[in-house]
């Protein structure tokens, strides 16, 4: 492949050699560089790709794409310089794989909470009308019914474009993908032709990276500035901003605000959520298998996007009803003792508040909350989540999430600060397994145990190791023979 052709539309300077050179491949990981390949030097948070130029040259790199001038590069090796190699990598990847996103419908879902559930609701609808759907997200990537492992919510641009090409080659018609704020800010999704973008909500998260909520909001807004059409939740305080950023047709959703697509008569029970969806003067009864007012917003977002794609509303309603729910998203485990546990991924203040409020709508006894916060992430949300837990639960057990490199005891103490502001009884149990066992042991008929923070995750990350850990498995074991 010709490097000059791959870099079409990308601004660069030639420091050495010529861009009119044939390359065998391109990589941003020096360990994967092939003979006569291109090495793209990415400036990261923990290391700088320019440091690995010697390794890339040892492996036979014929060209380097850098962000500044470099020295001591052998003659015969092309050196090009761009202002931002993340942008260059994304556009280069799109060119290399033949612009695959332009050959399918691509629906991007962004927001703090609800992304995963919204993508799977859309899949249920699109499956129903005979589409072959690709999923890119937190839990897994999918090509139709084939499940692929997901390393992060939104892959790096090279892997993302390769996945798009594979999807198109396997006859995928529609791709529904979660679009993280990181991926937008770091240009992983540059070059993608988004047909529809969905905004779910914006609440505190990722401030360890974005620093301020304004930066976080601006990153999310980048998706709507490039999508052909947008679905915006106007009940969220950031909805007006996202609408302003939208460049194309906008369909608004809401329950409390005036919107194009709305819901009335919301009824939440332990078995799910029923409501009437209102569209263009008509009323459509909907039943979801997931309890919670937040589920209504997810359904409206998915429905709105499908309306913009031309799907008949009757098919949308049938698809929403057919969705069985998503692993680790308000997933219920029942006991013969008359109590039940709910496992949810809620790991933000708003997410925790939503699931606790939902549980309170149907709990007949005591609500026991088992939760913590991840290490090496936004510390400011820990006391906030503690206070939310103490305010909405009848008993709190503060425990470990993914401590990563932090001392778990210190994380629990940060959460405890918030719980102490309430009158809620609580205890701290660092070991997550013991915490779940304690909650089950104290639960009586009519009680609900909410286990929040990890949801679908099947691992726990410590400073020196990563172990297998699945909240669903653990609560089933704790219930033992009483588990239904």
Give the rounded percent of residues in the chain with a pLDDT score beyond 90: 88
Average pLDDT over residues 286-306: 96
Task: Report CA torsion sign: 295, 301, 305, 307.
Answer: positive
* pLDDT tens-digit series, residues 313-328: 999 999 999 999 888 8
| pLDDT value of residue 326 | 84
Q: Which of 416, 445, 450, 444 is nearest to 430 (CA)?
A: 416
What per-residue confidence (pLDDT) applies to 16? 96
Say what the pLDDT of residue 208 is. 63
The pLDDT assigned to 204 comes to 62
Beta strands in 33-173 (DSSP E): 38-40, 63-66, 78-81, 105-110, 133-136, 141-143, 146-148
Q: Radius of gyration of the chain from Cα atoms?
A: 24
- Mean pLDDT, residues 147-165: 87
Contacts of 322 (CB under 8 A, 6+ apart): 124, 128
Residue 468: strand, helix, or coil: strand
Please, what's the b/e burial string for 309-332 (b: 16 or more CB within 10 A of its CB; e: otherwise)? bebebeebbebbbebebbbbbbbb
- Is residue 426 over pLDDT 90? yes
Mean pLDDT score of the chain: 94
- The average pLDDT across 61-90 equals 96
Average pLDDT, integer, range 68-92:
95
Residue 459 phi, psi dihedral angles, 5° rounding: -150, 165
For 322-376, the pLDDT digits (tens) are: 999 888 889 999 999 999 999 999 999 989 999 999 999 999 999 999 999 999 9
Range in 94-108, 150-164, 235-249, 272-286 the model is least confident about: 150-164
Distance CA 5, CA 18 (A): 12
DSSP label at residue 73: P
Question: Nearest-CA neighbor of 253 among 237, 231, 273, 274?
Answer: 231
pLDDT in tens, 210-269: 578 888 899 999 999 999 999 999 999 999 999 999 999 999 999 999 999 999 999 998
* Band of pLDDT at residue 64, cut at 50, 70 and 90: very high
């Amino acid at each position: 492949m010709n490097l000059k052709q791959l870099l079409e539309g990308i601004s660069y300077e030639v420091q050495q050699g010529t861009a009119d050179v044939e390359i065998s491949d391109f990589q941003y990981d020096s360990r994967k560089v092939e003979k006569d390949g291109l090495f793209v030097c990415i400036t990261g948070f923990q290391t700088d790709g320019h440091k690995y130029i010697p390794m890339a040259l040892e492996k036979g790199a014929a060209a380097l794409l850098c962000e500044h001038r470099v020295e001591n590069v052998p003659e015969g090796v092309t050196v090009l310089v761009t202002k931002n190699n993340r942008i260059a990598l994304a556009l280069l990847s799109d060119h290399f794989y033949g612009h695959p996103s332009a050959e399918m419908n691509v629906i991007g879902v962004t927001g703090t909470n609800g992304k995963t559930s919204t993508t799977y609701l859309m899949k249920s609808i699109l499956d129903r009308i005979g589409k072959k759907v690709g999923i890119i997200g937190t839990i897994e990537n999918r090509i139709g019914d084939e499940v692929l492992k997901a390393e992060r919510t939104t892959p790096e641009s090279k892997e993302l474009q390769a996945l798009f090409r594979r999807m198109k080659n396997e006859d995928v018609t529609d791709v529904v993908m979660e679009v993280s704020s990181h991926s937008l800010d770091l240009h992983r999704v540059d070059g993608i032709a988004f047909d529809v973008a969905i905004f779910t909500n914006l609440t505190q998260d990722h401030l360890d990276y974005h620093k301020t909520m304004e930066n976080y909001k601006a990153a999310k807004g980048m998706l709507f500035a490039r999508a052909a059409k947008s679905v915006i939740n106007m009940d969220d305080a950031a909805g007006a901003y996202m609408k302003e950023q939208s460049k194309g047709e906008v369909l608004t959703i809401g329950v409390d605000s005036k919107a194009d697509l709305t819901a009335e008569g919301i009824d939440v029970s332990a078995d799910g959520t029923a409501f009437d969806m209102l569209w263009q003067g008509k009323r459509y009864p909907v039943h979801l298998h997931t309890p919670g007012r937040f589920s209504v917003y997810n359904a409206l977002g998915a429905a709105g996007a499908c309306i913009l794609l031309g799907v008949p509303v009757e098919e949308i309603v049938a698809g929403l009803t057919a969705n069985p729910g998503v692993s680790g998203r308000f997933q219920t485990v029942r006991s013969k003792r008359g109590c039940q546990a709910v496992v949810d991924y809620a790991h933000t203040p708003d997410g925790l508040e939503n699931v606790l409020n939902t549980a309170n709508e149907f709990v007949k006894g005591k609500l026991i909350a088992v939760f913590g916060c991840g290490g090496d992430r936004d510390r400011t949300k820990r006391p906030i989540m503690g206070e939310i837990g103490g305010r909405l639960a009848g008993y709190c057990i503060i425990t470990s999430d993914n401590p990563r490199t932090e001392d778990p005891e210190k994380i629990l103490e940060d959460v405890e600060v918030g719980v102490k502001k309430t009158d809620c009884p609580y205890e701290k149990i660092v070991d997550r397994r013991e915490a779940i066992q304690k909650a089950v042991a104290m639960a009586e008929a009519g009680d609900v145990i909410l286990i929040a923070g990890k949801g679908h995750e099947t691992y726990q990350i410590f400073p020196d190791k990563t172990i297998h850990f699945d909240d669903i498995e653990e609560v089933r074991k704790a219930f033992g023979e009483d588990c239904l």
